[in-house]
Amino acid sequence: MIKTFALFVLTALAEIVGCYLPYLWLRQGKSAWLLLPAAASLALFAWLLSLHPTAAGRVYAAYGGVYIGTAMLWLWLVDKIRPTGWDLLGSAVALAGMAIIMFAPRHG
């Protein structure tokens, strides 16, 4: 369970970095060279998604919950904006949904 969650967090970080670097270029006037590591990060994101040991649709659905939690940490640590109680509640609900999707007993 911890290995699956850690893989989801790494996947989320790869996606966030892959999207954040173009944001820096487009919105903050940073170098277009940031697009190269952004593309590599998004390729890493796609590869990491393929490592999850269940059906792709289930992985994508569950990943969304971890992405939300990771994005809230990014908001706090990188953007320096403290998440509100509502942000944290929404993240907790999303993470609970991820746990139900990924760790529920399966028949057949």
Cβ contact 45:72 at 8 Å: no
- Sign of the CA dihedral with 105 first, then 8, 44, and 30 last: positive
Over residues 60-105, the pLDDT tens digits come to 888 888 899 999 999 999 999 999 999 999 999 999 998 888 888 8
- In contact, 28 and 62? CB cutoff 8 Å: no
pTM of the model: 0.81
